[in-house]
Structure 1
Amino acid sequence: MDKTLEKRKVGVLPNRKRSRVDDKDGVIHHVKEALDEYRETLTKLLQKHDSESYQQVCWRPDIEAAMCQRKKGNLVNTRKQLGPIPGVNVGDEFRNRAELTVVGIHHKFLHGIEYMKKDGKILATSIVNSGRYANHVASPDILTYSGEGGNPRVDPKKPKDQRLERGNLALKNSMEEGTHVRVIRGINRFEVGTRAKKSSFRTYVYDGLYIVESFWQEREEFGKLVFKFLLKRISGQPIITWGKALDKLKKPMVSKDIVCKNDISEGKEKMPIRVVNAIDRATPPAFIYKRNVIYPDFFKETRKGGCNCLHGCLESKSCPCVMRIAGVLSYNNTITGTKSLIYECGTTCKCSSSCKNRISQHGIQFKLEVFRTKSKGWGVRSRTYIPRGSFICEYVGEILQDKQVKQRKGFVIDATQHGNVGRFVSHSCSPNLFARSVLHDHDDARIPHMMLFAEKNIPPNQELTYDYNSIVGDSNGTTIRQALLDKPSGVAPNII
């Protein structure tokens, strides 16, 4: 996309960098989360139906996916309203008309004019310039919009004069009342599919707020009277240089968000972890997904003692497990302390499996996604917001005692053949994750579980990384990189 569109603070299409926008109340996050869930539902619907079903004229998977979201109560901004929509910024781009409904900027799937009743009058809230009517863009700030009704391109019935009712009346009333109308513009895009076939599709860009300055009637190509509305863009809003943007959009682009696998864990995790590739046709290397580390045959998992808490360990002042990690855990299931070796309640403890001192044993709690990066191979990101201190995942693999690390009397975790999503997390000198050693099923500090936690609040779709040079274990621990066994930097490790 042209940089002029980037200046509009948004590119909702996948893998586009958004400019920093103030989101103190998390509204943008909720809108993005609703879009992510809608797109996931749509992808599943398309994969569920075979090509013959998909080609049926009566089937609209985009609308069906939005209806599924509505039944679940996962749409945002569901009430009609005048003016701007919380969480939607000028320049945001949407893949289809249904996505406009998902975020609440335009609730109608087909009709171009949406309106609401206020003080006894119907007023226009938004219009979509989709190209089905003979609309005219005189300049980036001026739009001549055709009224609705009597168009044989939309309605197969005999063409007839338009009436001053419904959406047409709403636009007239908006002119008289001076209320603002949201304008969404349709843009034709071109893409090259996996078989190098060029095809076109339409996306929709939120163009900002307009006012209706005047209206009149004209006779159109079918000889019938059509209402024309002159809308002018309100000044002070971010500007799109549409000419340059459209020139860029005419060039073919490679299809985005190719889902390689719906769940790389194959049902082993509570939440599916999908794999997407918007860069090339590569697929992740083959391995066997495991939720738990594989210990050597000679190792026996033993733990001495345990707590007798029955009503919550963090609330107890005498819990021996909590006393060993004083100040590390908070009541909202996050880590707050800096201890590098953490003792959690384990198999010999009498507390329940929901104990807050089992934070890393509750499994993955966020919608993680493995994706293809431009320069580092495969990486991991979350499709939802992650609060600081939250548990992300364990680094899982086979525990080995390798000759190269015998001088340290240590072990390594080999995730080459067996592992989990942690094997795809990449290195960064400015990471947003940190590693901690955790013991819960045994007391051998030489072989702790390596757990990854959020270093800071992490917004959706930001790559998750940690520093291979960080130290894990106690004060005599080793850096992660020292145990990588000559793995190249900047690549998610297979051996730690």
Structure 2
Amino acid sequence: MGAMVPFQDLNLLPDPPLSASSTALRTPKIEPKAEPLDVDHHLPPVQTTTQPQLPNSHTAPEPISTEMGETHLYSEFNRISELFHAAFSNRLSRLRLPDSPAAAAAAASPASPAVSESDSRAIVPVPENNNQLSAPRSNKKLDKRSSELVRVTGLSSEDERFFREVVRRTRMVYDGLRILSTSQQDSHAPHLTGRRLRGDLAAASVMRAHGLWLNRDKRVVGPIPGVYVGDMFLYRMELCVVGLHGQPQAGIDYLTASESSNGEPIATSIIVSGGYEDDEDSGDVLVYSGHGGQDKFSRQCAHQKLEGGNLAMAKSMHYGIEVRVIRGFRQGACASNKVYVYDGLYRIIDYWLDVGKSGFGVYKYKLSRIEGQPLMGSSIMKFAETLKIRPLEVRPSGYLSLDVSVKREAVPIPVFNDIDSNNEPLCFEYLSTSVFPPFLVHQNGGMGTGCECLSGCREGCICAAKNGGEFAYDPNGILFRGKPVVFECGVSCKCPPSCRNRVTQRGLRIPLEIFRSREAGWAVRSLDLIQAGSFICEYSGVVLTRDQAQVFSMNGDSLVYPNRFAGKWAEWGDLSRIFPNYVCPSYPSIPPLDFAMDVSRMRNVACYISHSSTPNVFVQYVLQDHNNISFPRLMLFALENIPPLRELSLDYGVADEWSGKPMICN
């Protein structure tokens, strides 16, 4: 079991003057006091004409929306909190959800065993009974962020898995709330004219009201348990939810002097997003300019002062406290138009006051990345971008094929092996979509009656009715919630290919690569960030009836049984930790699947995805070209944000009774 290591009390020691060349290392003990930027969610909403100025904001304010002008992120977070509780959360709790004989307890976070105060798991607040969570109370005062500094050390592999699962499930709840709130705002909040609710802020507000923000009871120095180097986040508020960076707006997260027992601020993390012209970033070495002195157009217009976050950075260098570095990048392919990458721990080795490019005094901090950490996520992201454009220049050897699909997919699927001479993926015919026996497709009359939506399906059409009255995808093609089966528009429908209910029919759009792994054999990874809830590809093979499968299995052919895949679809969009009456969707329902897929001769890229009991990809059953619910297609969706070049994994479920291993063709 790991341990939380507190810091030495500075009050017992003489306080030397601070200097940039000081080498004395001491660790402060911080007395718990109120977090200055924490405000009650139930205060009156912030007016747009009187917006508070955020102290110590290193990066320029992010644009909220085209209607919001210069509104700061934090004031908008407060406004959203009030509006959400007043006009939105009650409507969400009254959503018509399908009945189910069982509650959604299966998707609840693993309960923490009884622990003492010194147990490292105490730093993550996980409700013991998620089904007892209630709606936010208007008179409940929210807990303040702790000012006690701890460092988590000595985690076992079991602890690592525990914290990773806690973070993963917390992020799934956040994504589920964000997607749902964004999709429902127009129809459920018609009085909010002129300004749109921010789904990311609404989700963070509700989770904080339910005590689901992580690492609030301790202020963690160093790595956050459950967050890996290279993890990617699409929203600033998600960084706050997992405790990686506690400031919704400011680029420097720190303990204020008023919280410290000796009156000195301490920095714990920074965000580098190009907001300051004097930043110099070469990866392992970073020159980070301090905050302050900028106008609303992010131009330096005054000298910076050694106070607030700037002083906290200097004190962290003085006491040898490492800081977490998160880099922000513009990413047009994402819904948020930005992505934040956790790049690991850096140590501040020097700071000085310099004349910036604008002619004003700027404090600069030189940071060096601590050795022995995994590769930086930002470096991997840039490497993956280059691979998509010039693969042979970056990796001149190792490619067995630049497109194993032979143009059967919209994007090429390369095969890379720099480990051994195995070339197995080249020995199979590539099959982009599954092949069904003709009599199965037509025995129920194809797709039957289709919709009449000429410009795309809308609420109330017959295709929405097939899905229980709601579409499965948002306008960006993100799956709202996992379902037993999703009915997409078919050949009888008059809607165009761009219809929101034809997501999986557009085929593979993400650049995937089959590669040889030392641990998993053949595996699959993406060259792009895959957003949580996004469609990836179909799991393809030749569909066999039960009788046909028995014959093929006697020949030793590779068969995949869809009924053995773990029901991870039930976890995506599960809001049982927020709404106690939430039940897992049970409609439309399908009978137990009684067919197999032959992948012994024809297969696609999905057949090389590795097995994992904690996967990042799940199977969603979909019907699109026929109505026979006993033979759906196997569509793969992302269970979390998957960074570039991170291995994809599936839970293949029940093991084979003979070999004791999951029935996979890899």
The alignment's TM-score, normalised by the length of structure 1, stands at 0.50
Higher strand share: 1
The alignment's TM-score, normalised by the length of structure 2, stands at 0.38
User: Which structure has the greater CA radius of gyration?
Assistant: 1
